[in-house]
Amino acid sequence: MTTASPVRILLVEDNPGDVVLIEETLAQRHGAFALESVERLSAALARLSIGGIQVVLLDLTLPDSDGLATFTTMHTQVPDVPIVVLTGLSDESLAVSTVRDGAQDYLVKGHVDADLLGRTISYAIERHQVRRQLKSSEQQLRAALEQVRNLNQDLERRVAERTSELAAAYKELEAFTYSVSHDLRAPLRHVSGFAQTLAEEMGSHLSPTSRDYLERIQQGAVQMGVMVDDLLKLARLGRQPLNPRLTSLTEIVGAVIAELESEIAGRPVEWQIRELSAVACDPGLLGVVFTNLLSNAVKYTRPRDVAVIEVGETTRDGERAFFVRDNGVGFDMRYADKLFGVFQRLHRTEDFEGTGVGLATVQRIIHKHGGRIWAEAMPDRGAAFYFTLNA
C-alpha cells in the first residue's frame, strides 16, 4: 500500500468501453491513481486550466478534434502537463509522431495491463519533470552565459575607453614636454650669451670669486642646454612612428662600435660580440638603443685596465632576449627601477659625465616595440642590460 496521495490522471476518451477498460485496469493498483475522464478536447482543456492534473491519457480521435492536431493543440496550450497518447493498432505510427513532437509516451489500446499502464504513467511524470528541470538549468545556463557575455563586453569597452584616455594623456604629456623643452632653449641661450658677454667685457675687472661665479653660470647653462636637448630628443622619439623591417642586429652593433671608437680613445676594450638573430624592428631606433647601452658600457668600465663588453642573445621566460654586459663599476640592484627614469643617475657627474636620459630613451624605444627591458648588476662587478622585442 502506498501512503502517497494518488496520481491525478485526466483521461480524454469518447469511447465509453475504452474508458471503462482504463478505469478497471487502474483500479487494480488500489488507489495509486485518481482518474477523471472527459469526452472532448474542449472539455479537457477547460479541466486542465483549473490545474491539479499530473498526467493526461489522450485519445487522438475525439468528437471535436482528430489526429495529430489533438495532441498538438493540447501540448501547445498546456506544455507543463505530460501527455501519454492512447492509440489503436492501426495508427501506431501517428502515435510515434506525437512522441517525436513532445508526448511522453503512447499506449496501444487493448494491449495495456495494470503494470504497463502504471509504469508508463509514472515514467511519463518522471521524464517530464526531468525534462523540465533540464530546461530550467539550460535557461539558467543561458542567462549566466548572457551575463558573462555582457560583462565581457562591458570590460572590453572599459579597457578601450581607458586605453584611449591613457593614449590621449600620454600624447598631451609628450606635447607638453616638447613645447616646454623647446621654449626653454631661447631664455637659456640668453643666459649663456649674456654671461659670455659679461665675462668678455668685465672679466678683467672682476674679483677671482666673481669670475668663478660667472664660470659656474656658464657651466650650468651648458649643462641645462644638454638636458633640454636630450629631453627634446626624447619627446620627438615619442612622436616618431615605428618603421619596422627585418634587420640584422649584428650589423647595427658593428656600426655602433665603429662610431664609439673616438669615445674609447685607445683604451683597451675586449669586445665579445655574438651573432644576433635578424628581427623585425625599426633599425634607426635599435641603433639608438645599442648606442646608449654600448656607450654606457664603455663609460662605466673606464676604471678597468681592460674593459670586457659582451653582446649576445639568450632566452628568458621562453622569450628571446638580447643583452649587453660589461665588467664595469656596476650598481646596487636596489635602485634598478630608477635607472630608466628621465634624469635619473646612480653615479656622480664628477665620476661619470651624463644627463641620465639615455636609458629612458632606450626604454621608450623598447616599449614602442612591445618589448621589455631590465638590468642585472652588482656594485663593482659589472652590469648587464637585457631587452626583448615583439614588433
Ligand X SMILES: Nc1ncnc2c1ncn2[C@@H]1O[C@H](COP(=O)(O)OP(=O)(O)OP(=O)(O)O)[C@@H](O)[C@H]1O
346 binds, among ligand X, Mg ion, none (CB under 5 to 8 A by kind): ligand X
The H-assigned helical ranges of 203-282 are: 208-239, 249-264
Which has the closest alpha carbon to 252: 280, 299, 274, 284? 284
**Among 292, 364, 373, 386, which residue sits at the site for ligand X (rule: CB under 6 A)?**
292
Asked if 106 touches ligand X (CB under 6 A), the answer is: no
What is the number of alpha carbons within 13 Å of residue 59 lying toward its C-beta? 21
Order of all β-strands in the sheet with 319-326:
269-273, 307-316, 319-326, 383-387, 373-377
Number of residues that bind ligand X (CB under 6 A): 22
**Among 358, 360, 364, 365, which residue sits at the site for Mg ion (rule: CB under 5 A)?**
358
Q: Considering the complex, what minimum distance in angstroms separates the CB of residue 212 from ligand X?
A: 26
Q: Considering the complex, what minimum distance in angstroms separates the CB of residue 267 from ligand X?
A: 15
Considering the complex, state which of residue 296 and residue 388 has its C-beta at the smaller distance from ligand X. 296
Q: Considering the complex, what minimum distance in angstroms separates the CB of residue 147 from ligand X?
A: 49
Site string for ligand X, 187-226 (x = CB under 6 A): ----------------------------------------
Backbone angles phi, psi at 130, to 5 degrees: -60, -45
Stretch that binds ligand X, among 71-79, 133-141, 143-151, 324-332 (CB under 6 A): 324-332
Site string for Mg ion, 275-314 (x = CB under 5 A): ---------------------x------------------
40 binds, among Mg ion, ligand X, none (CB under 5 to 8 A by kind): none
Q: What is the DSSP string of 35-98?
A: EEEESSHHHHHHHHHH----EEEEES-BTTB-THHHHHHHHHH-TTS-EEEEE-GGGHHHHHHH
Using only C-alpha atoms, the chain has a radius of gyration, in whole angstroms, of 45
Considering the complex, state which of residue 120 and residue 355 has its C-beta at the smaller distance from ligand X. 355
Considering the complex, state which of residue 102 and residue 354 has its C-beta at the smaller distance from Mg ion. 354
By the 10 Å C-beta count (0-12 exposed, 13-18 middle, 19+ buried), 307 is classed as buried
DSSP secondary structure code for residue 6 in this structure: P
Are 388 and 362 a contacting pair, CB within 8 Å? no
249 binds, among ligand X, Mg ion, none (CB under 5 to 8 A by kind): none
DSSP secondary structure code for residue 27 in this structure: H
102: left (phi > 0), else alpha (psi -120 to 50), else beta? left
Residues 370-389 that bind ligand X (CB under 6 A): 383
**Among 121, 281, 329, 389, which residue sits at the site for ligand X (rule: CB under 6 A)?**
329
For 367, residues 6+ apart whose C-beta sits below 8 A from its C-beta are: none
Helix axes 68-77, 92-100, angle to 10 degrees: 30
Considering the complex, state which of residue 121 and residue 346 has its C-beta at the smaller distance from ligand X. 346
Site string for ligand X, 221-240 (x = CB under 6 A): ---------x----------
**Among 106, 322, 323, 331, which residue sits at the site for ligand X (rule: CB under 6 A)?**
331
Q: Which residues of 2-29 are buried (b: 16+ CB within 10 A; e: fewer)?
A: eeeeebebbbbbbeeebbeebeebbeeb
**Among 22, 346, 365, 373, which residue sits at the site for ligand X (rule: CB under 6 A)?**
346
3-state secondary structure of 314: strand
Asked if 328 touches Mg ion (CB under 5 A), the answer is: no
Residues lying near ligand X in the complex (CB under 6 A) are found at: 230, 292, 296-297, 300, 326, 328-331, 339, 345-347, 354-360, 383
Residues lying near Mg ion in the complex (CB under 5 A) are found at: 296, 358
